[in-house]
Each structure stands twice: as C-alpha cells, then as structure tokens.
Amino acid sequence: MTGFDDLLATLTVKGPLTVTGDSVPLGTAWLPGHRRGVDPAAHGYVEAEYLVSGQADDWTWDDNLRPVSVGPLPFTTRILVRCPADPAAFSGAVYLEPNHADYDRSLTWSATAPWLVRSGHAHVGVTQELATLPDLARWDSGRYGALSIPRSGQRWDIVGLAAALVKSDAGVLAAKAASRVIMSGWSQTGTFCRTFLGEGFHARSRAGAGPAVDGYVICISSGGAARPGYGVLRPPAALPLDDPRRTVGGHGVPVVELLSEGESETHQAVLRPDSDEPGDRYRLYQVAGTGHVTGRHELATNRLQMADRGWPVNPSEVRERLSDGRMDLAARAVFAATDRWIADGTAAPRMPSRFGYDDPAGPATRGIVPESLPVARDADGNVTGGIRTPWVEVPLGGHFPHSTPVPGRCEPAPHAPYADPAMLADLWAHLAPFTAADLARRYGGKDEYLTRLDGAARAAVDGGWLLAADLPEYLEGASAAAAEVW
C-alpha cells in the first residue's frame, strides 16, 4: 500500500482544457440551444475542465473481504469544475462527487445546481468509472483520448486525491482554496460514498493535518439492498447483508443519508439512530412521495449531448403517470442543512418520524427485490412518516415508488447493472390520480387545491424541508400538474 501523501506528490494537472468549436465538456453546465442546465456566466460562475494524472493504488478484497492494495498504477482522469469567477463570492464550500456510470453524469449538480450557484458554492465532478471512458472518447477523442484508469479498484484513491487537490491551493478553483469539501452521490455513486466510508478510504484521504472530505450526503442508496447497496472491491464477491459496514458508522464528520420510498424498502435492516456525538454526527432523511427516480427535472446535459451527436440514449417510458414529487427540491434543503452543520456547527434538523413498515408476516406487495419490505401507507396510498412534503400533505392522488414499462420503450442503458425493462421501470415513481369526484369532494376546485398546497409548501419551508427560494419553481410546476388532472 502506497501512502496517501506519496500519491498526492505524483499528481500533475493539465488545463483548463480549451473550449473551441464543438469541443466542449461532456456534461457541460449549459446547452443554450436546448435551454438545458444552468448558465454559469449568468450567475458569475466559470466552468473549467482539467486532466489530472498521477498514481493511485488498486484496491481489492482479501479472502476475508477486507481491503488490501495490490500496488499503485498510473491514471489520467478529468475533473469538471464550476465555481464563482470572483474569489470574494466563493463560500469556501466545494461539493465534490464521483460521476455516475450513466454517461459520466454529475447527479448532485443536476439536482442542486440552482442552490449551489445561489450560495456561492463550487462543484467538482470526478470521472472515476471505467465504463464511462468509451463514451467520453466517442464524444471527443481529441479531448479525452488520454484518459486512462487501468483498474476499477483505483477509483477510491482517485476520488480521494481529487478531494485533496481541491482542498489545497492548486489553482483548479478560479476562486481560492476550499475551506470544506462535501462528497455526495446518487444511486450507484451514493453507494460509492457509503463504501468509501465503510472501507476506510475516508480515513486514508488526507489534506494536510485533516481529512480531505469534511462531510457526506449519501443519496438514494440503501445499505440493505444486497449488491447495489455496497460497492464491490473484488468481483464477483459481495458484502453479506449482515455485515456491519453496510450501516453508516461514526467517521468524525457529518454523514447524511437521503432516501426515497424506494430505497427505504430495503434499508430497514441497516437503520440506525440519528446522532449528534462529535465523532458520530448522523442524520437520516426519508422523503415522502418520492421514488428512486422522481419526475424528469433533469439539469445534467450529458444524455442530450450524446443524442445531439446521433447517439440516442435508451428510452425509459412507463405506463403510469409520473409522480409530481420533487426529490431535487427536498435535496436542496437537506444539502443546505448539511452545509450549515459542517460550516458552523448548526445541527441539521431531525425528521419528526421515520417511515413505518408493513407487517412482515402480511402479504407481499412486490417481489422484484427479495429483501424489500413495503413501507406503511395511508388510505390514499401515500406513505406514513418521513419528511412531509406538500405533494403528499395536499395530494392529487397516491404516490408510489414503482412503475411498469411501456413495451419496447423502456430499455436499460448499457451501463445499468441489469437488463430487465421491468427493473428499470421499477425505479420510476408514479402518481395514481384521484378521480374527478374525489378531487371535487376534497378541494372543490383547482383554486382551492392550489391555495391549500401553497400553505403546505410554506409550512415545509418553515420546517426546513424546502427552501424559500425554490417555492416559485415548485408552485409553478405544481400548478401545471394540477391542470393535468382537473
């Protein structure tokens, strides 16, 4: 095993890469022709891309499923940076994430970019997944032809080194050195964060005298979900379901888990109490009325860029009406609370209650994931407990975290760990709308519904579960959703 400081000493940085003609980053923040994303210049931000080269240990498991290094190997990856152009506008916070295998998308950026740029925070996406390198080379071989990650076991040190790089004054931030680095991920990359903690890579990754990462937000990743819930260091091995590493422990920095109803079904076995202990600051947030994929509020541009080049991405159409929930808006409030916890010690709020679960002796309602246990629901079909979002407090129907595929129009991407359209559709949340008679009985008309929804949304702001700055976006979308069922 090579020491982390020794690996840091091997790093070289090339860039920023020049934007010329069609040579722009895959996953660029803004596609003006499609009005997709967030325009950095409009918010006083710059976007810059760098190639980072160095040495990273290749990690595997020994016969007892404990991490062991088989030695360092050279690598070259990319980091995509968004930060304030004016150092005085920089908050000091860098939100760093390992990019997802699905076309190298930065999912935290996609969910929280409006909050990030309002707050003066920087964002850094790190390419660490071998499966994305062919997509990047196909997108622009001249720009990305030098990328090389020989072994998947290098990803842990690559991301740790990127965190240490942005924590230092290495010149990759147009503003200034970071005062705090927060790592996050969603689904596969949320599981990356869980594994990064559980296998000791957080403790290994240092920046000077302190940790390279100052806090974590683990999004839509269930520690109890068999293979998807914990990373594999030596395929095809998988961590047993009763291994304590699946449950987040104390790591000396705040760690937050943000789950939808979908992940909560398999998370019961690894639930743990919230904590404010100095060495074990932890929160669990479960967002009512959401699924693993909720709605189509996409800010990431990667898929659209690929389609523009004539490489259409796989469709994901379901039979049901998509949910009107907004996990992205709830996430922005959770990220803001986590940032305060790290920046000045203001403890993040606790949920009034967690999701309930159905009686395990009762009839199963679904069977795609054997270890799942459906969460408890009210008479409308909406979950009980968790963060009480306005869309379940003043509902248009029952929100459910699973859907069914449209035949021939729901195809997993090549990077997906499954090839079954039913499993892809199972990730999508849907709304089972009330009948016209039920809506009239509950609300009288759409205006009364919107008045009550406005009150519920403002109550969620008061509770810390939505941000006041996001209310106009939410209410505009909710009004459009109401028009579809009235």
Sequence-ordered strand ranges (E) for 178-233: 180-186, 206-207, 210-211, 215-219
C-alpha to C-alpha distance for 221 and 192, rounded to whole angstroms: 9
Q: Is residue 331 part of a domain?
A: yes
Cβ atoms of residues 425 and 447 within 8 Å = no
Q: Is residue 374 part of a domain?
A: no
Q: Is residue 422 part of a domain?
A: no
Residues 6+ apart with CB under 8 A from 74: 53, 54, 55, 148, 150
Q: Is residue 482 part of a domain?
A: no
SS3 state at 337: helix
Q: How many structural domains does the chain have? A: 1
pLDDT tens digits in sequence order for the chain, 486 residues long: 899 999 999 999 999 999 888 789 999 999 999 999 999 999 999 999 999 999 999 999 999 999 999 999 999 999 999 999 999 999 999 999 999 999 999 999 999 999 999 999 999 999 999 999 999 999 999 999 999 999 999 999 999 999 999 998 777 887 677 999 999 999 999 999 999 999 999 999 999 999 999 999 999 999 999 999 999 999 999 999 999 999 999 999 999 999 999 999 999 999 999 999 999 999 999 999 999 999 888 899 999 999 999 988 889 999 999 999 999 999 999 999 999 999 999 999 999 999 998 865 444 444 444 456 789 999 999 999 999 999 999 999 999 999 999 999 999 887 777 779 999 999 999 999 999 999 999 999 999 999 999 999 999 999 999 999 999 999 999 999 999 888
Q: Is residue 187 part of a domain?
A: yes
Q: Is residue 371 part of a domain?
A: no
pTM value? 0.96
CATH code of the domain containing 308:
3.40.50
Q: Is residue 119 part of a domain?
A: yes
* Half-sphere CA count of 83, side-chain side, radius 13 A: 27
What is the domain range of residue 209? 4-344
DSSP conformational letter for 469: G
Q: Is residue 478 part of a domain?
A: no
